[in-house]
Amino acid sequence: MVLIPAADYQLVRLNNGICSVRSLADAETFHPVIGPVAEAEALYVRQLRLRERLAKHSGEFVVWDVGLGAAANALTVLRATRDLPCPIRLVSFDHKAEPLEFALRHTVELGYFGGYEQQTQTLLREHTVQFTDDARTVNWELHLGDFPTWLAQSAARRTPNRREAPTHSHPTGSETGAPHAILFDAYSPARNPAMWTLPLFTNLFRQLDPQRPCAMPTYSRSTILRVTLLLAGFFVGVGHATGEKEETTIAANTPDLIAEPLDRRWLDRARRSHSAEPLHAETYRISPLSPESWAKLQAHPQFQ
């Protein structure tokens, strides 16, 4: 990599010549191997089958963008689907706007803003923007703040209409609209454990509408992540390669959106793993499955 100096962030010239953004404070490079657009296309657009789903969808399609960063994932999704008439509500979350501010000063070098500079500037300034994008209408919202806190408060405001079962009986809706797809792109668990805990994913699952199929890919393939997603209520499967990783993870509230679900052989490997117990608090640590977690995994509908 070649670093192009800046202030709190730097442009990074990857080995393939494509530019990305690096946070100096967090020591993290966004999309560090194949670049922002190629990774977003592989991990989200194709794996979520967004074009296929939007082509068949009636009404507004809601996408949650968890970890807006420099907006590469959000803009790649918009560009890849702009010829489809289905309206999109894009809800982006991040704890700070600085990466996007930096990216907007370097749109030429980054290359993925073409045609969306004005809309992104408005989003940054007003935290909401509505615009016509080729064949459809886009409503884009930005929620700045601590996502785990927002999610916990949102879950606390909800009133269940029935006693919750351990996995799939959850109330519907949220103030942003229950998502049909989630782009989950937080910093790594070792760097940002608060975004990978069992309480966070449990609260996230509770935001989903059981009558609204929703899938969520993410770049990690770790056993601890997959166990966490299962115990939070999701169905979980093997995700597509991205060029950077040979395998990723996809979760959903229905098995119909999982092409290659984890099976009992994976479950046996998870039981033997030294790093499988979910993070129950915002501190990163590794440990094998607890007896309680093992019992809950065995009872998950995916393995029946």
Looking at per-residue confidence, does 99 or 159 come out higher?
99
Q: Does residue 18 fall inside a structural domain?
A: no
Q: How many domains does the chain have?
A: 1
- Identity (one letter) of the amino acid at 81? T
DSSP labels, the chain = -EEE--SSEEEEE-TTS-EEEEETTTTEESSTTT-HHHHHIIIIIITTTHHHHHHH--SPEEEEEE--TTSHHHHHHHHHHTTS---EEEEEEES-SHHHHHHHT-HHHH---TT-HHHHHHHHHHSEEEEEETTEEEEEEEEES-HHHHHHHHHHH---SSPPPSSS------TT---SEEEE-PPPTTT-GGGGBHHHHHHHHHTS-TTS--EEEES---HHHHHHHHHHT-EEEEEPP-SS-S-EEEEESSGGG-SSB--HHHHHHHHH-SS-SPB-SSS----PPPHHHHHHHHHSGGG-
Could you tell me whether strands 181-184 and 61-66 are parallel, antiparallel, or unpaired per DSSP bridges?
parallel
Q: Does residue 28 fall inside a structural domain?
A: no
Q: Does residue 103 fall inside a structural domain?
A: yes
Range of the domain at 239: 34-303
Q: 31-40, 70-79, 213-222, 250-259: lowest mean pLDDT where? A: 31-40
Q: Does residue 183 fall inside a structural domain?
A: yes
Q: Does residue 24 fall inside a structural domain?
A: no
Question: Hey, what are 25's tokens?
Answer: 């404070």
Please give the pLDDT value at position 163: 33
**Chain CA centroid to CA 191, Å:** 16
Query: What's 98's domain CATH number?
Result: 3.40.50.150
pLDDT tens track for 62-119: 999 999 999 999 999 999 999 999 999 999 999 999 999 999 999 999 999 989 999 9
- Please tell me the distance from the alpha carbon of residue 124 to that of residue 130, in angstroms, as a whole number: 13
pLDDT tens track for 224-246: 999 999 999 999 999 988 766 78
Q: Does residue 42 fall inside a structural domain?
A: yes
pTM score above 0.85: yes
**Percent of all residues in the chain with a pLDDT value above 90, rounded to a whole number:** 77
Q: Does residue 14 fall inside a structural domain?
A: no
Give the pLDDT band (50/70/90) at residue 157.
confident
Please give the pLDDT value at position 175: 60
Please give the pLDDT value at position 1: 39
Whose CA is closest to 169, among 304, 303, 301? 301
Give the pLDDT band (50/70/90) at residue 17.
confident
**Percent of all residues in the chain with a pLDDT value above 70, rounded to a whole number:** 91
Looking at per-residue confidence, does 17 or 162 come out higher?
17
- Please tell me the distance from the alpha carbon of residue 302 to that of residue 289, in angstroms, as a whole number: 18
pLDDT tens track for 187-213: 889 889 999 999 999 999 999 999 999
Check whether 6 has a pLDDT greater than 70.
no
Please give the pLDDT value at position 244: 66
Average pLDDT over the chain, rounded to an integer: 90
Give the pLDDT band (50/70/90) at residue 158.
low
- Identity (one letter) of the amino acid at 169? S
Give the pLDDT band (50/70/90) at residue 135.
confident
Q: Does residue 6 fall inside a structural domain?
A: no
Check whether 46 has a pLDDT greater than 50.
yes
